[in-house]
Structure 1
Amino acid sequence: MLSYQHAFHAGNHADVVKHLCWMGVLNSLKKKDKPFTLYDSHAGAGTYNLKDDMSAKNQEFLTGISALANVTPSADLLREYLALCNTFMSESCYPGSPAISVAEKRSDDVLHLMELHPAEHSKLEQNIKALRVKNVRLHKRDGYEGLRALTPPKPNRGAILIDPPYERASEYNDVLKGVKDVFKRWQQAQIVVWYPLLSARAGAKHGASEKMLEQLTELGRPCFKAEICIAENEHDAGMYGSGVLVINPPWQLDQQLSCALLEAVEHMGPLASTNLTWLNKDA
């Protein structure tokens, strides 16, 4: 099934938690002079015009990035994220994870972007070409197959963002298998997995993220989860929030991300809240 297009949800609360975390990972990697490799398994279109028909249909960005537009943040990570977003928002665009990676990586760092959806891949090609950056590889392929084929990198430094649409209930198992496959070859991988928090209205997918987190935690790697909720978990709430699981997280990312999220949710509605919880402290 290849129906999902992220433009309908660009800049929403899920993007805020996901992209704040991803920027924190990239900041940590850049502390050393050695080059690194990034992998984005479900890259999407790269950038999103918030005035086009898809983004304007649901206007989810209004309770996400737009709610933070006039904030002067004190948290360093939130300040960096908003500064980057503002360069795109001035043209009514939102940067997806590929654009964030392109903006943050150095010239010697390598970025692999994988997107199987034909329309999304075509947009990704156009948007990345417009950014004119070295060492970006685009792949029209399944993200998990790409991770198996392209890892581990040389030198052995880098991070993976896994951000599937979870249209099918089976995609939660796909994530688990994909992460297991990576660790068979690349023990040091820093992995960020985004997941939705769904109410009972979601049927078979209700509770699937929580089960997936339990299974990923059982792999025994150091990991924490960070979440934003924007509504009560009531039967008809739908996606009431989302989060990221960070496996093999860099030092102090938990503190940096927690500070940024606590400040962000103050501006994202009366029901907005956040939490960060360590699931495994030690390997």
Structure 2
Amino acid sequence: MLSYQHAFHAGNHADVIKHLCWLGVINALKKKDKPFTLYDSHAGAGCYDLADAMSTKNKEYESGISRFMDADVRQPLLNDYLALCHDFLSLNHYPGSPVISAQAKRDSDVLHLMELHPAEFNKLNSYIGKLRKPNSHVHKRDGYEGLRALTPPKPNRGAILIDPPYEKASEYLDVVKGIQSVFKRWQQAQIVVWYPLLSERAGAKHGASESMCDKLAELGTPCFKAEICVSQNTTDAGMYGSGVLVLNPPWQLDQQLSDVLNEITPLMGESASSSLQWLNQDN
């Protein structure tokens, strides 16, 4: 489970939908002056060099952010995302969720980043230190254990990003158990869960994301899922797309994401498609 290196996938379609959604959550929290706390359970290295050996192996960013990074975009959330990424992309780097969180939050807001992989943790700790963002904490610990120990925050405002590698089929159930544990102590938590969409080639993991989303919806919390697919779901397609499930989403995030997906999906290739569906409607 500690073999995963996100650099192979930096800036791909999965990062695009995940980071757009996460930035939308942070933007909503910033509408009030009261400080908040952000948690990233599987933080990774923080920032990725798109010219290094891992990123250039498959060049997944070419089917992701590269498709629209120079486009004349209209949607405010998409503009915010590209503006945050701009300085990094100009250096041929891509900011991961820890850097997006650190750059987007205010000095009074708190950030907890958790990463267990030794090499990834060292990179993350070094990079976040160089950013010199107040109240940013890096933890070498299991993400779910960290969430149990560090939630709920004071004041009781904030959000969690859960983005596991899903190397093992059991990780899907780990997500459900982790969120159940959080909600026992912090029912107001806004939680973003990223998940892959996998074809039959994935074996036991085929359909696991869909099952996980169903189990999370059974918790009864208001939630929606947004998905983007970049290829057809054929038998041997592998990861043909990905999605985010948002529990306790902020007001109008669904509309913002729909508008952004409608704008970028036509730029992601002839086979690209996207959707947004409420599983438990917010009352």
Common fold, TM-score beyond 0.5? yes
> What aligned pairs does 1:26-65 form with structure 2 within 5 A after superposition?
26-65=26-65
**Structure 2 SS opposite 1:192:** strand
Q: CA deviation at 1:188?
A: 0.3
Distance in 2 of aligned mates of 1:114 and 1:37:
14
**Residue number in structure 1 paired with 2:239:** 239
Deviation of the 1:265 alpha carbon: 1.2
For 1:200 and 1:179, locate their aligned partners in 2 and report how far apart those are by CA, in whole Å: 27
How far apart are 1:9 and its partner, in Å?
Answer: 0.1
* Cα shift at 1:199: 0.1
Q: Which amino acid aligns with 1:54?
A: M
In 1, the alpha carbon distance for the partners of 2:95 and 2:70 equals: 18
Between the aligned partners of 1:93 and 1:186, the Cα distance in structure 2 is: 35
Partner residue in 1 for 2:112: 112
Residue 126 of structure 2 aligns to a residue whose secondary structure is helix
In structure 1, the partner of 2:199 is 199
Give 1:282 deviation, angstroms: 3.5
Single out whichever of 258-267 and 29-38 deviates more from structure 2.
258-267
Between the two proteins, what is the percent identity of the paired residues?
Answer: 71
- C-alpha distance in 1 between matches for 2:282 and 2:47: 37
2:82 aligned with 1:90, yes or no?
Answer: no
Question: Aligned partners of 1:140 and 1:98: how far apart in 2?
Answer: 14
State which drifts further: 236-245 or 128-137. 128-137
- Asked whether the equivalents of residues 222 and 280 of structure 1 are also in contact (C-alpha less than 8 Å), the reply is yes
Structure 2 partner of 1:77: 77
2:148 aligns with: 148
Q: Which moved more, 1:128-137 or 1:167-176?
A: 128-137
Cα distance per residue 1:225-250 (max 9 Å; x no partner):
00000011000000000000000000
1:126 corresponding residue in structure 2: 126
Kindly state the Cα deviation for residue 130 of structure 1 after the two structures are TM-superposed. 1.5
In the aligned structure 2, how far is the partner of 1:269 from the partner of 1:177? 36
C-alpha contact (below 8 Å) 1:111/1:137 kept by paired residues: yes
Instruction: Kindly tell me the number of residue pairs found equivalent between the two proteins.
Output: 283
Partner of 1:178: 178
Give the alignment's TM-score, normalised by structure 1: 0.99
1:249 aligned onto 2:249: yes
Amino acid corresponding to residue 260 of structure 2 in structure 1: A
- The residue type paired with residue 88 of structure 2 is F
Residues of 1 paired with 2:282 and 2:13: CA distance?
30
Gaps of 5+ in 1: none
Q: CA RMSD in A?
A: 0.7
Given that residues 72 and 79 in structure 1 are in contact (C-alpha distance below 8 angstroms), is that contact kept between their aligned partners in structure 2? Answer: no
Aligned 1:3-14 pairs, distance under 5 A: 3-14=3-14
Partner of 1:229: 229
Q: Residues of 2 paired with 1:159 and 1:94: CA distance?
A: 22
Q: Distance in 1 between matches of 2:269 and 2:70?
A: 14
SS in 2 for 1:266: helix
Runs of 4+ in 1 over 6 A off after TM superposition: none
What per-residue deviation string (whole Å, max 9, x for no partner) do you get for residues 35-86 of structure 1?
0000000000000000000001010000101111211111111111111111
CA distance in 1, matches of 2:270, 2:58: 20
Measured in 2, the distance between the counterparts of 1:234 and 1:4 equals 25
**Quick one: distance in 1 between partners of 2:197 and 2:152?**
31
**Per-residue deviation at 1:87?**
1.3
- What is the SS of the residue equivalent to 2:267? coil
Q: Which moved more, 1:225-234 or 1:69-78?
A: 69-78
The residue type equivalent to 1:195 in the other structure is Y
| Maintained 8 Å contact 1:125/1:138 | yes
Please report how far the alpha carbon of residue 128 of structure 1 lies from its aligned counterpart in structure 2 after TM superposition.
0.8
What residue identity is the alignment partner of 1:270? E
The amino acid that maps onto 2:51 is K
Report the counterpart of residue 68 of structure 1 in structure 2.
68
